[in-house]
Amino acid sequence: RFLVKGGLAGAAVYVAYDQGLLGSGIEGAEALKKAQETLPPAIQEWTDYLGWEVRAAQLPPTPKIDFSLSASWNKGVHTVMSALSAAPSRACEYTVEGWKYVKDLVK
């Protein structure tokens, strides 16, 4: 089981890397655009193969995602870094509060 799960995880990482999802924000945006162009024909091909009759009107439109991948990534990095920079002072505050709580329990 472990080998199968590890193999699937490794394959998923390889495919993500090969498609450019682990690269820069520009490469990720290009991969997203490529997926949006490829997905509807692939769905139609599979429905034809399986014998399902799906009319174009029945398929929902592909969602329009209009955001900057690099800006979202940068915002996440800033959020994580600000949390890490505040961590020592927060740890001290929580330690003081914990000691106060323990002292109140002992009384």
Q: What range defines the domain where residue 8 resides?
A: 2-106
Percent of the chain predicted with pLDDT > 70: 82
Q: Which of 54, 57, 35, 37 is nearest to 46 (CA)?
A: 54
Q: How many domains does the chain have?
A: 1
Q: Which pLDDT band holds residue 56 (cuts at 50, 70, 90)? A: low
Token code pair at residue 7: 């193999």
pLDDT of residue 78: 85
Q: What's the chain's average pLDDT?
A: 79
Residues 6+ apart with CB under 8 A from 104: none
DSSP notation for 21-78: TTS-HHHHHHHHHHHHHHHHHHHHHHHHHHT----TTTSPPPP-----HHHHHHHHHH
pLDDT of residue 61: 67
For residues 14-38, average pLDDT = 75
pLDDT of residue 99: 93
Backbone angles phi, psi at 81, to 5 degrees: -65, -40
Token code pair at residue 8: 């699937």
Q: Which pLDDT band holds residue 53 (cuts at 50, 70, 90)? A: low
